Amino acid sequence: MRTLFIAVGTAVTLFLGGCAHAPQAKADLSAFQAAAPRSILVVTPVNHSLDVDAPNYLLSTLAIPLAEKGFYVFPVNTTKVVLEQEGYYEGEQIQKQSPVDLAKLFGADAVLYVTINRWDAQYAVLAASVTVNFDYRIVFKDGTELWKTQQQMVYTPQATNAGNPLANLIAAAVTAALTRAAPDYLPLARQANGLALVTGPAAIPDGPYKPAK
């Protein structure tokens, strides 16, 4: 009987312990806060997807969330053009360079590196879904890594329910066909950036231009 009590007690304790540990996912931002960068350079992402256009498309969505977070963000297209003048076209080439040199070249306090793990659409007979998955990493001008996270977003278009099985099937087929013709990655990329950098549990601290609340 006593053993049963102990067993139950232990189980409860373990359970509570599990609960207490669950929401500890809060990121360690002390290195970022100590470095307190004012400006962030965003370079062309590394591409591990099969879509050769993905890095440029993603690049176009990265400046706004960082600037809205209160940082000076170097103009992303100007940065891309300057690096291309120097012979750096691909994200992989750029990430192989020393972040110290890169930051010095632009006079930046920190560099944001992004790697595209997924940028694709999956098709079933009557449905489709689009997936993006990115690694984000911010490195200080002295080479110290200040922050990193990973973010995935999946979009599955919801066909409107017409209340009639045949109509629903047709609607689903139309949705799948539309997604197949032109999957729109931009809203997904924006959502992933917003969660990773601004609103998610691992979001970066506010920059100097964010007014204190």
Partner 1 sequence: MTKAACLLVAALGLGGCAHHNTLYAWGGYDGLLYQSYKDPTKTAVLLTKLETHVLALEQGGAKVAPGLYAEVGTLYLQIGKADKATVYYTKERDAWPESRPLMDTLIAHVGDRKPVAPKAAMPAASTATEVKS
Residues of the shown chain interacting with partner 1 in the complex, contacts defined by CB under 8 A: 38-39, 53, 56-57, 59-61, 63-64, 67-68, 70-78, 81-83, 85-90, 93, 97-98, 101-102, 104-109, 186, 190, 209-211
CA distance 200 to 194: 8
Would you state the structure tokens that stand for residue 32, as one six-digit string? 């970022």
> Please, which residue, 145 or 184, has the CB nearer to partner 1?
184
Distance of CA 57 to the CA centre of its chain: 13
- Record the tokens describing residue 54, joined without a space: 């993905």
- Closest to partner 1 by CB, 159 vs 185, is 185
Nearest-approach distance from CB 37 to partner 1, in angstroms = 10
**Of 42 and 176, CB closest to partner 1:** 42
Judged by beta carbon, residue 18 or residue 87, the one nearer partner 1 is: 87
Element of type H or E holding 105: helix 99-106
Rank residues 90 and 120 by Cβ distance to partner 1 and give the closer one: 90
Burial of 70 (C-beta count, 10 Å sphere; 0-12/13-18/19+): middle
Residue 210 — φ and ψ, nearest 5°?
A: -85, 120
Q: For 173-209, give the secondary structure using H, E and C.
A: HHHHHHHHHCCCCHHHHHHHHHHHHHHCCCCCCCCCC
Residue 120, SS3 per DSSP: strand
